[in-house]
Chain A
Amino acid sequence: GAVVSQHPSWVICKSGTSVKIECRSLDFQATTMFWYRQFPKQSLMLMATSNEGSKATYEQGVEKDKFLINHASLTLSTLTVTSAHPEDSSFYICSAVTTSNRDGQEVDTQYFGPGTRLTVL
């Protein structure tokens, strides 16, 4: 249990276009999901906390109008990078926190997706 998927795994887009990244918890329900970005050879930086049915909470310095987050269900959160520019190129990783100990997951533990490599030309 505790499998988190992301789609797509990689994407290349032109500057000025928008890109949507999906994060799904496949075998558990997650009321909270987190979005991180990771630059090469660097650690993960939290961008925002996504709560099902409510607005996301963004970290200081993260533009909420540029990085739109929607958490419409207990198994899906999406990150849309609007009007992407080359400086947005990065590795985006989501994580999900389970609400129960069923099916092999453990509460209070973030389970991570495999990441999405975004390249903006």
Chain B
Amino acid sequence: AQSVTQPDIHITVSEGASLELRCNYSYGATPYLFWYVQSPGQGLQLLLKYFSGDTLVQGIKGFEAEFKRSQSSFNLRKPSVHWSDAAEYFCAVGGGYGNKLVFGAGTILRVKS
């Protein structure tokens, strides 16, 4: 069965510090992996995705993620966090066009000045 684990419910980082949000997945085939961000009361915005090819993917807002098949992980990183990055981040796994996405529980990022 497909599943996504985001082990950190909350993370607090200082503005300007680096960030890594963890995501581990379980999927029976080649996964399509996504990171979305949600601000309070809003929908989800796609940050980046991995389908194939280069395992280090670049996204919007300075985010990147690295797919590591051996570790079943797709961690999200940002070298320098801005206060506007405070939001909830969801990792998701799916199987391609029209296929359902399975979401992790989400990680709430707080940024302190």
Question: Which A residues have a C-beta under 8 Å from some C-beta of B?
Answer: 4, 6, 31-32, 34, 42-44, 46, 49, 51, 91, 93, 95, 97, 106-115, 117
| Residues in A neighbouring B105, C-beta threshold 8 A | 42-43
**Please, which residue of chain B has its CB at the minimum distance from the CB of A42?**
B105
20 A–B contacts from the bound complex (CB under 8 Å): A4-B43, A34-B100, A42-B106, A43-B104, A44-B103, A46-B100, A49-B98, A93-B43, A97-B97, A97-B98, A107-B97, A108-B32, A108-B51, A108-B96, A110-B34, A110-B46, A111-B46, A112-B43, A114-B43, A115-B41
Distance in angstroms from A37 CB to nearest chain B CB is: 12
B98 touches A115 (CB 8 A): no
| Residues in B neighbouring A112, C-beta threshold 8 A | 36, 43-46
Distance in angstroms from B101 CB to nearest chain A CB is: 6
B45 touches A46 (CB 8 A): no
| Residues in B neighbouring A91, C-beta threshold 8 A | 41
A108 touches B44 (CB 8 A): no
Taking A42-B106, A43-B103 as given, write out 6 further A-B residue pairs in contact, using a Cβ cutoff of 8 Å, ordered by the A residue number.
A31-B98, A44-B103, A51-B98, A107-B97, A109-B49, A115-B43
Known contacts: A108-B51, A108-B96, A111-B46. The answer to whether A46 contacts B101 by CB under 8 A is yes
What bracket does the count of chain B residues touching chain A fall in?
A: 20 to 34
Q: Is B74 an interface residue when CB atoms closer than 8 A count as contact?
A: no
Q: Is B90 an interface residue when CB atoms closer than 8 A count as contact?
A: yes
The A contact surface, by secondary structure, is: strand
| Residues in A neighbouring B100, C-beta threshold 8 A | 34, 46, 49
B103 touches A115 (CB 8 A): no
Question: Which B residues have a C-beta under 8 Å from some C-beta of A?
Answer: 32, 34, 36, 41-46, 49, 51, 90, 94, 96-98, 100-101, 103-106
Distance in angstroms from B110 CB to nearest chain A CB is: 14
Selected contact of B97 from candidates A34, A43, A108, A115, CB within 8 Å: A108
A93 touches B101 (CB 8 A): no
Bound-state CA distance A113–B51 (Å) is 22
A113 touches B43 (CB 8 A): yes
| Residues in B neighbouring A51, C-beta threshold 8 A | 98
Distance in angstroms from B38 CB to nearest chain A CB is: 9
**Please, which residue of chain A has its CB at the minimum distance from the CB of B99?**
A108
